[in-house]
Amino acid sequence: MSNELTEQLTRLFEPRSIAIIGASATKMKWGYIVPANILAGGWKGDLYPVNPHETEILERPAFKSVKDIPGEVDLAIITIPANHVEEAVMECVEKGVRTCIVISGGFSETGKEGRAAEDEFAEIARKGGMRIVGPNTMGIYSGPNKLHALMPPVRPVAGKIAFAAQSGNLGTQMLSLGKALGVGFSRFVCIGNEADLKAADYLEYFADDPATEVILLYIEGLRDARRFIEVARETSPKKPIVVLKAGKTSAGAKAAASHSAALAADETIFDGVMKQTGMIEADTTEEMLDIAKAFAAIPMPKGRRVGVLTWGGGWGVVTADALARYGLELVEFPAETLAELDSVLPPYWSRGNPVDLVGTLDLSMHFRCLEIIARCGCVDSIISLGTMGATSSFQSFVLEGPIMDEMQRERIKPKVVTSEFLAQLQKTDEAYRDEVIRLMAETGKPIIAVSFPTSGSITPMLARQSEVVIYPSPERGAKTLAALYEYQQFLERKLAGV
Amino acid sequence: MSNELTEQLTRLFEPRSIAIIGASATKMKWGYIVPANILAGGWKGDLYPVNPHETEILERPAFKSVKDIPGEVDLAIITIPANHVEEAVMECVEKGVRTCIVISGGFSETGKEGRAAEDEFAEIARKGGMRIVGPNTMGIYSGPNKLHALMPPVRPVAGKIAFAAQSGNLGTQMLSLGKALGVGFSRFVCIGNEADLKAADYLEYFADDPATEVILLYIEGLRDARRFIEVARETSPKKPIVVLKAGKTSAGAKAAASHSAALAADETIFDGVMKQTGMIEADTTEEMLDIAKAFAAIPMPKGRRVGVLTWGGGWGVVTADALARYGLELVEFPAETLAELDSVLPPYWSRGNPVDLVGTLDLSMHFRCLEIIARCGCVDSIISLGTMGATSSFQSFVLEGPIMDEMQRERIKPKVVTSEFLAQLQKTDEAYRDEVIRLMAETGKPIIAVSFPTSGSITPMLARQSEVVIYPSPERGAKTLAALYEYQQFLERKLAGV
């Protein structure tokens, strides 16, 4: 990997100083919103507003030009209209600014003229040794140093996933969803028009970035496919790369051409590239985060044999189908495992896999069954349905005003579900989560939880998916497990030199 | 259809009186929880607790036997242990009870002996002219009369979907999810072991039930496949039937056999049956509700041509791919439609489908674009991305304590996102929803909204999907639209006599 690129992108993601070119005191303008996000996000460094018509912005002195800033500038963020960008880039180069994010749109995405203008300022930057993100980008995020240089006021959780997206909306909304689920990001970049820095550059940086363990890409088309493939091939054995490739159908490719002006790769070629390089494909937007969060949180399955724990027979059947569809095996337990389970479960249990826990509220039984299955040599991974996150379901049933009112009106005072009972369930959820974490650490096997978000909300417990993962359906849990196993197989082929 | 069956199942779903056999004053017992649910749910009728060892339960006099109840009993609910069920059924028949729900498990799902016991009490009921739900069932729900004869304290929203499920957990959790989303149910039955009433019977009843417009089935295996197919064939042209068939893989079938002791149909045979009868298949548990709620809320698309509105280019590309994958067409707008859109959108808009709304907060533009597309003769249906439900996203960004605290600490007092601004967004959401409802009524075309649940919670606005539908990803919206179109094509083939 290039040391120069690493050095340059470290300036970008971990700048010591930032100039905002087009900083504004008008609160509905990006020149206000972006620096306000940066300051509110907790980044520590020197922020310099640049605006020739103001003296103070965001309680800081405003500079007429980036060239007037006394100290060094690691990163300039340009939010001014397209026709002034070239001049601003020129001034940045003169100042010796190291990296630059061009938020402004109106370039190659609008047609030939825009492309010419984009090429011009990119050439100026290239000659001056300044790297550019964008134009037409929503900005970047960096977790370790709390840098929120983004247009939407999204405040991601810091974590292990680096994410490069050829769509700002889609990218930032994934960060938001991640926040709701407690899934953390190390870095994020909205790639924009790639006048200078390209998907392959970010991928190369993430590959060696110590803050990053998993790489997530949303790709519409590649401007430098050959280099991208090379970098992916080198990176995959070190860190899993999860990719959503949009524009694979001809309708999608056409839409992509008008969106990012990117050239779409032929679908069959792309599928071949995925396989060769060991990148893991997400088929849908939901799968992007489903899969990335699992890579960031849980161990790899060493084989295809799955043990399933369920609270309800139907969910077990659906899970069995899903495992079969995604090439995983619902393992037959050997006699000694069945005997161990016999010692825990009531005599009428179904003595097979899935293990139906027969809807009891005695959760110690679940704990013991989970341990037996996790320690069984016949099992490579576990899907645990309905146990973790049960609090959420119960809350949806009972914690609502109208129901309690009705109960009062009918003069029934049931003690079935009291707040003490719910507090106990919450505690059990936490204990179960800790047990899952312990068992994953001790056995090295992934445990995937599935809980049905029946309340429509994610409980605080569920919202910490940096240590355990919880899916809203067995199908999504099984598909994710299959993606993990696909990567494991790739690693094994690499080791075997195939 | 059989008038007798309709009359019998009307007694079941709309009983005037209910006896609880095994009623209990012990609050952790089903004999307490089930009648407590019924009373709390608002059902109006005579409830008779039956328990030889008590004098009063739930503030009502307890009877020693069902035979001691003075009035008529339309429905008996049996919650006592398996070995006492036969006697209870016998007494019910002697009393002249019309229908009976056997909650108790421990019958054919446990093996040969259980099956024999089940056959015996079913035969007694058959001879006595009493119909039986179950055994091994979680009960029933009926919307019009607010009957919540269920084990879990789920309180569904009343609506147009009738749902029969061969799994109690899966079924009741769908009801719960429906409640969170504002998706309503007319009837629900947990089918259980089908000692007497079978899937086909419920289907036949729902077909003629005036409270039901859409039928949802979770099926593991059929005990009377021939009759089921006949009833489905007759019902499909009248009401859409959405089916999740579990146990289609051999692993799933094996799991199903141990769960419900049902015989699984061969996958290819079942697929053929689906096509012939016009039933619509849901491939996943999430799709069950995705598709059913659309049938219950929005018009059918008359063709495959789709217009797409988006706030972000990336989401448009993903939607284009999804439409192509599911056999729908991203229509090319004719010159006059483009001209109409030109009059509304800024000059640099991409002049194509998807219509990229270019991230403006001026929502009146969205309203006008939606109307232009909905009224275009070239369009059969619309997918509208990101507009409805925007409040939810913004709230997740800004309404959190820590962020506001940080902003205060940094002494920035941004007025970008105030509570007034959020209230305005909420209002816009509501106005947009009303506009969608109006346009669907006036044009007869379905409008599908997609909003990314970035906050992890469902806003009150989102939680009313009985009039408009909102999906958490474009892929799920497109797949649902394809299911609606599949049914439309079936209806057209029927009309054409093919």
Split at pLDDT 50, 70, 90, the class of B272 is confident
Least confident of B104-118, B128-142, B482-496: B104-118
Minimum Cα–Cα distance from B354: chain A residue: A255
More confident residue, B465 or B161: B161
Select the residue of A42, A314, A316 nearest B166 (Cβ to Cβ). Answer: A314
The reported pLDDT for the residue numbered B399 is: 41
Structural tokens at position B138? 């979680």
- pLDDT class for B459, splitting at 50, 70, 90? low
- Reduced 3-state DSSP string for chain B: CCHHHHHHHHHHHCCCEEEEECCCCCCCCHHHHHHHHHHHHCCCCEEEEECCCCCEECCEECECCHHHCCCCCCEEEECCCHHHHHHHHHHHHHHCCCEEEECCCCCHHHCHHHHHHHHHHHHHHHHHCCEEECCCCCEEEECCCCEEEECCCCCCCEEEEEEEECCHHHHHHHHHHHHHHCCCEEEEEECCCCCCCCHHHHHHHHHHCCCCCEEEEEECCCCCHHHHHHHHHHHCCCCCEEEEECCCCHHHHHHHHHHHCCCCCCHHHHHHHHHHHCCEECCCHHHHHHHHHHHHHCCCCCCCEEEEEECCHHHHHHHHHHHHHCCCEECCCCHHHHHHHHCCCCCCCCCCCCEECCCCCCHHHHHHHHHHHHHCCCCCEEEEECCCCHHHHHHHHHCCHHHHHHHHHCCCCCCCCCHHHHHHHHHHHHHHHHHHHHHHHHHCCCEEEECCCCCCCCCCCCCCCCCCEEECCHHHHHHHHHHHHHHHHHHHHHHCCC
* Amino acid at position B15, single letter: P
Give the residue-averaged pLDDT of B236-261.
88
Average pLDDT, chain B: 88
User: Of A190, A171, A151, which is closest to residue A33 (Cα–Cα)?
Assistant: A151
Share of chain B above pLDDT 90, in %: 68
Q: Is B321 on the interface with A (CB under 8 A)?
A: yes
Q: What is the pLDDT confidence band of residue A415, given thresholds at 50, 70 and 90? A: very low
The mean per-residue pLDDT over the stretch B226-233 comes to: 95
Say yes or no for a CB contact (<8 Å) between A313 and B169: yes
Q: Residue B415: which pLDDT band, with cuts at 50, 70 and 90? A: very low
pTM for this model (two decimals) = 0.93
Cα gap A468→A490, rounded to integer Å: 24
From first CA to last CA, the distance across chain B in angstroms is 24
pLDDT tier at B463 (50, 70, 90 boundaries)? low
Dig out the tokens for A261 from the structure.
Answer: 């002006």
Domain annotation for chain A: domains and CATH numbers: 3-295 (3.40.50.261), 299-494 (3.40.50.261)
Interface contact B27-A396, CB threshold 8 A: no
pLDDT for position B202: 98
Res A399 pLDDT > 90? no
Token pair for B223: 């005990």
Is it the case that residue B51 has pLDDT exceeding 70? Answer: yes
A5 vs B: CB within 8 A: no
**Residue A351, helix vs strand vs coil:** coil
| C-alpha span between B354 and B78 (Å, rounded) | 56
Asked if residues A331 and A378 have their Cβ atoms less than 8 Å apart, the reply is: yes
Structure tokens at A196: 């200078």
For residues B461-469, give the mean pLDDT.
78
Beta-bridge mates of residue B448: B383, B469
DSSP state of A21: E
What does the block give as tokens for B449? 């909204």
Indicate whether B391 pLDDT > 60: no
| B393–A contact, CB cutoff 8 A | yes
- ipTM over 0.85 threshold: yes
Q: In what order do the strands lie in the sheet with B214-219?
A: B147-150, B139-142, B185-190, B158-165, B214-219, B241-245, B280-281
Q: Does A477 touch chain B (CB under 8 A)?
A: no
C-beta atoms of B454 and A285 within 8 A: no
Nearest to B457 among A315, A320, A456 (CB): A456
Q: Does B33 touch chain A (CB under 8 A)?
A: yes
Kind plus residue range of the DSSP H or E element containing A133: strand A131-133
Give the model's pLDDT for residue B421: 64
Is B177's CB within 8 Å of A452's CB? yes
- Decide if B243 contacts B275 (C-beta within 8 A): no
- Classified as helix, coil or strand, A43 is coil
Q: Which residue of B has its CA nearest to A454?
A: B177
Predicted confidence (pLDDT) per residue in B335-362, tens digit: 999 999 999 998 878 899 999 887 565 6
CA distance B94 to B73: 11
- State whether residue A6 sits within 8 Å of chain B by CB: no
Q: At what angle do helices A285-297 and A474-495 cross, to 10 degrees?
A: 60
Across chain A, how many H-helices and E-strands are there?
Answer: 17, 20
Question: Is A202 within 8 Å of A131 (Cβ atoms)?
Answer: no
**Chain A nearest-CA residue for B256:** A317
Distance from first CA to last CA of chain A, Å, rounded? Answer: 24
Of the pLDDT bands very low, low, confident and very high (cuts 50, 70, 90), residue A419 is low
Tens of pLDDT along A475-497? 999 999 999 999 999 999 999 98
Q: Does residue B395 surpass a pLDDT of 80?
A: no
Q: Is the pLDDT of residue A401 over 80?
A: no
pLDDT of residue A417: 52
Phi and psi torsions of B444, nearest 5°: 70, 15
Q: Tell me: pLDDT of B410 over 70.
A: no
B-interface mutation test, from A43, A155, A317, A331, most B Cβ less than 10 A away: A317
| Res B458: pLDDT | 53
- Quote the pLDDT of residue B111: 86
At A187, which helix (H) or strand (E)?
A: strand A185-190
Mark yes or no for CB contact A323/B251 under 8 Å.
Answer: yes
What is the reported pLDDT for A228? 94
Q: Which of residues 112-151 of A touch B (CB under 8 A)?
A: none
Tokens, residue B273: 């049956």
Cα–Cα dist A63/A53, whole Å: 9
Write down the pLDDT at residue A472: 87
Q: What is the mean pLDDT of residues B70-77?
A: 97
What's the DSSP call for residue A63?
B
Is there a contact between B169 and A359 if contact means CB atoms under 8 Å apart? yes
Is pLDDT at A6 greater than 60 in this prediction? yes
pLDDT on residue A390: 60
Query: For residues B210 and B202, what is the distance between their CA atoms, to the nearest angstrom?
Result: 14
Distance of alpha carbon B498 from alpha carbon B490, whole angstroms: 9
In three-state secondary structure terms, A101 is: strand
* A259 to B323: CB separation less than 8 angstroms, yes or no: no
Beta bridge partners, A165, equal A190, A218
Q: What is the largest CA-CA distance in chain A?
A: 81
Amino acid occupying residue A322: A
Of the two residues B152 and A171, the one the predictor is more confident about is A171
Q: What's the rounded Cα separation, in Å, for the pair A259 and B348?
A: 12
Output the pLDDT for position B359: 59
Residue at token pair 């939680």: B463
Over residues A51-79, the mean pLDDT reads: 96
Rounded alpha-carbon distances, angstroms, from residue B394 to A257, A378, B391, B422: 29, 48, 5, 8
Taking the CA of residue A457 and the nearest CA in chain B, the distance in Å comes to 4
Helix axes B474-495, A285-297, angle to 10 degrees: 140
What distance in Å separates residue B403's CA from the closest CA in chain A? 7
Window 144-183 of A, Cβ < 8 Å to B: 152-155, 165-171, 173, 176-177, 179-181
Average pLDDT of the residues in A84-89: 98
Q: What is the pLDDT of residue A461?
A: 56
Residue of B473, B378, B466 lying closest to A170 (CA atoms): B473
> Is residue A39 less than 8 Å (CB to CB) from chain B?
yes
User: In the structure, what pLDDT confidence band is assigned to residue A395 with cuts at 50, 70 and 90?
Assistant: low
User: Rounded to whole angstroms, how far apart are CA atoms A149 and A187?
Assistant: 11
User: Shortest Cα distance from A166 to chain B (angstroms)?
Assistant: 7
Residues of B in contact with A425 (CB under 8 A): none
Contact yes or no for B477/B383 (Cβ under 8 A): yes
Q: Which residue has the higher pLDDT, A272 or A342?
A: A342
Q: Which residues contact A350 (CB under 8 A, 6 or more apart)?
A: A313, A356, B258, B259
Closest CA to A368 of A332, A344, A333, A386: A344
pLDDT of residue A420: 67
Taking the C-alpha atoms of residue A434 and residue A445, their distance in angstroms, rounded to an integer, is 15
| Contact status of A399 with chain B (Cβ, < 8 Å) | no
d(CA B17, CA B14): 9
The DSSP element (H or E) to which A384 belongs, if any, is strand A381-385
Sign of the four-CA dihedral B256, B262, B266, B272: negative
CA of A421: which chain B residue's CA is closest? B28
CB pairs under 8 A between A and B: 295
B416·A36 Cβ contact <8 A = yes
Q: Which residues contact A429 (CB under 8 A, 6 or more apart)?
A: A388, A389, A390, A391, A459, A461
Q: Kindly indicate the confidence band of residue B82, based on its pLDDT and cuts at 50, 70 and 90.
A: very high
Mutate: best of B317, B330, B333, partner A, most A CBs <10 A: B317
Chain B residue numbers with beta carbons less than 8 Å from the beta carbon of A386 are 169
Q: Identify the top-confidence range among A18-22, A269-273, B268-272.
A: A18-22
Compare A13 and B260 and report the one with higher pLDDT.
Answer: A13
Query: At A244, is the secondary structure helix, strand, or coil?
Result: strand
Which chain B residues are within 8 Å of A452, Cβ to Cβ? 173, 176-177
Dihedral over alpha carbons B64, B68, B73, B77 (to 10 degrees): 10
**Which percentage of chain A shows pLDDT scores above 70?**
87
**d(C-alpha A212, C-alpha A195), whole Å:** 25
Distances (CA, A) of A438 to A298, A310, A444, A451: 11, 20, 10, 20
Interface test with B, best of A57, A321, A353 (most B CBs within 10 A): A321
Name residues whose C-beta falls within 8 Å of residue A479's C-beta, 6 or more positions apart in sequence.
A287, A290, A322, A326
- A259 contacts B317 by C-beta, under 8 angstroms: yes
CB atoms within 10 A of CB A28: 11
Residues 6+ apart with CB under 8 A from B461: B388, B389, B391, B392, B426, B429, B430, B433
**Contact between chains at B317 and A252 (C-beta distance less than 8 A):** yes
Residues 410-469 of A with CB under 8 A from B: 410-412, 414-417, 452-458, 463
pLDDT for B407: 47
Q: Does the pLDDT at position B451 exceed 60?
A: yes
User: CB B153 to CB A260 under 8 A?
Assistant: no
Q: State residue B62's pLDDT score.
A: 97
The pLDDT of residue B259 is: 64
| Rounded Cα distance, B492 and B498, in Å | 9
Q: Are A356 and A350 in contact (CB under 8 A)?
A: yes
Of A418 and A364, the one with more pLDDT: A364
Cα(A277)–Cα(A239) distance, integer angstroms: 12
